[in-house]
Amino acid sequence: MAPSNRTSIHGTWTGRWTFILAAAGSAVGLGNIWKFPYMVGEYGGGAFVLVYLICILLIGVPIMIAEILIGRRGRSSPANSMEYLAKEANTFPQWKALGVMGAIAGLLILSFYSVAAGWAISYVFEDFGGESANYYGEKFNLFLQDGSQLIFFHSLFIFITAFIVARGVIKGLEAWINRLMPILFVIVVLLCIYATQTGAFLEGVAYLFRPDFSKINATVVLAALGQAFFTLSLGMGAIMAYGAYMPAKQNIGSTALSVAFLDTTVAILAGIAIFPIVFANNLEPASGPGLVFVTLPWAFVNMPLGVIFGKLFFVLLSIAALSSAISLLEPGVAWLVESLKTNRFIASGILGLIAWTLGIFSALSFNILSDFTPLGDRNFFDSMDFLSNQVLLPLGGIFIAIFVGWVMKKNNVLEELELKDTLILRIWFFLLRFISPLMVAIVFCSAVFLGVVT
């Protein structure tokens, strides 16, 4: 058996590791370096990490394999890949909407994600000379009130993202991913080495890896479920789009495991780098989103060489955000290029402009538009976050699992995976058909109907 011999008009990654780095770059973002450590702090340290790792295997890897499979067999944008595979499976052409929904979700996420990425870029220029712990809390609040600054850094980030995507798969995505990801790994390792000199390294590592099973409850499991799904960039077409550029001879299963491993490794290393710094300065690990933008800057003020490593940390955060942002824009750009027969510069410019415009509303939602609440009591930034991350992405993940597990012809799935009907394949099919969609549905229902936002 051999995978589909269709080719992508956008090109193909030049090697196995390029796809792994690209998919890992999509997965590694603010969620790993900003969100994961503060969630560990809020949900009981090692107990959360243990549940999170189990969820990665039960949810993340099975759905990621399915999403890569769709992309590589379709060899097109997510929307057109779904259309082709629906026709191949003799089923409803409306499955194309799944790919369209992913591209829309990616664009919505990029619109507010670039605002948060702009925060990280702005901190690269911080001198880490504050006089007290409260200084950085007040400074961050003042920064959020300054709409012009937020829009400036948001605009800068969107421009860089659109420029890279416009350059194409080889000259843009591949060239930049091959530069950014090694730099990201080097910086996170340097920060971990730096953390060993804080005097609280063992305390930080113990907090991260020593589980307190008494802390495991429904809330912790739900939070770990959500983070495991969202951290791998599933359900928004990014992995599907990158799968379309994957070499035909590359093994999908081992590649998905490699991506999940790299993504989880960066999240764990971020925790190893952050928690010793937090404990060495008697700071609160469960300080929520402010852990990175309020708590850590004060820690760097009090550390030897803190200015250097503080800047390195926010460079790391900016690179992680950029590697993810590239994958958020790519599915929509590929779709426009294929559907309108336009070039990538025009497609990137159009979608970049849409994301930039929506992002202005997100940037202003912390100041002059703070009373504008489109969804419940959420401001525009939080509304876009909720709509994309809590609604569209889980729905995308559920339907991807259903399509590959139940709709696609099994022979085509086996052909693309280059596997025979073995025990490993049966376990994957079982997880994909029953466990993964059920668990993602629980995350979706808890967020939408119970108001629990992971």
For the cut 90, the answer to whether the pLDDT of residue 360 exceeds it is: yes
Which residues fall within 8 angstroms of residue 313, CB to CB, at 6 or more apart? 187, 191, 273, 296, 300
Which pLDDT does position 23 carry in this prediction?
92
In the predicted model, what is the mean pLDDT of residues 424-443? 93
The residue length of the chain stands at 454
Q: Does position 427 have pLDDT exceeding 80, yes or no?
A: yes
Determine the average pLDDT of the residues in 241-259.
Answer: 93
The residues spanned by each domain of the chain are 16-448
CA-to-CA distance for 115 and 360, rounded, in angstroms? 8
pLDDT band at 451 (very low <50, low <70, confident <90, very high): low
- pLDDT of 454 > 60? The answer is no
Q: CA–CA separation, 363 vs 355, rounded Å?
A: 12
DSSP-derived 3-state class of residue 344: helix
Of all residues in the chain, the percent with pLDDT exceeding 70 is 97
Query: Is the pLDDT reported for residue 3 higher than 70?
Result: no
16-448 fold: Sodium/glucose cotransporter (1.20.1730)
Residue 300: the pLDDT is: 87
What's the average model confidence in pLDDT over 282-305?
A: 79
Structure tokens, 393: 């992405």
Residue among 127, 452, 82 nearest 311 (CA)? 127
Give the integer Cα–Cα distance in Å for 9 and 223: 39
What per-residue confidence (pLDDT) applies to 289?
Answer: 67
Q: How far is CA 243 from CA 96, 178, 248, in A?
A: 17, 17, 10
> 315: how many CB neighbours lie within 10 A of its CB?
17
Q: How many CB atoms lie within 10 A of CB 278?
A: 25
pLDDT over 80 at 198, yes or no: yes
Please say if the pLDDT value at position 105 is more than 90.
yes
What's the mean pLDDT in 49-70?
94
**Residue reference for tokens 């995976």:** 417
C-alpha dihedral (311, 313, 318, 319), degrees to nearest 10: 110
Orientation of helix 133-145 relative to helix 147-166, angle to 10°: 80
Q: Which residues contact 199 (CB under 8 A, 6 or more apart)?
A: 280
With the C-alpha atoms ordered 221, 53, 232, 45, is the resulting torsion angle positive or negative? positive
User: Where is pLDDT greater, at 29 or 431?
Assistant: 431
* Amino acid 229: pLDDT: 83
Q: With beta carbons less than 8 A apart as the criterion, state whether 100 and 81 touch.
A: no
Q: How many CB atoms lie within 10 A of CB 217?
A: 11
User: What number is the average pLDDT over the span 374-388?
Assistant: 91
Confidence bin at 31 (pLDDT 50/70/90)? confident
pLDDT at 177 over 80: yes
| Burial (CB count within 10 angstroms: exposed 0-12, middle 13-18, buried 19+), residue 242 | buried
pLDDT of 298-327, one tens digit each? 888 887 888 999 999 999 999 999 999 999
pLDDT of residue 108: 96
Model pLDDT, residue 223: 84
* Residue 260: band (very low, low, confident or very high) from pLDDT cuts 50, 70, 90: very high
Q: What pLDDT digit, counting tens, does each position of 41-57 carry?
A: 888 888 899 999 999 99
Q: What is the pLDDT of residue 452?
A: 60
Hey, which of 189-203, 360-374, 385-399 has the most confident mean pLDDT?
360-374
Q: Which residues contact 152 (CB under 8 A, 6 or more apart)?
A: 118
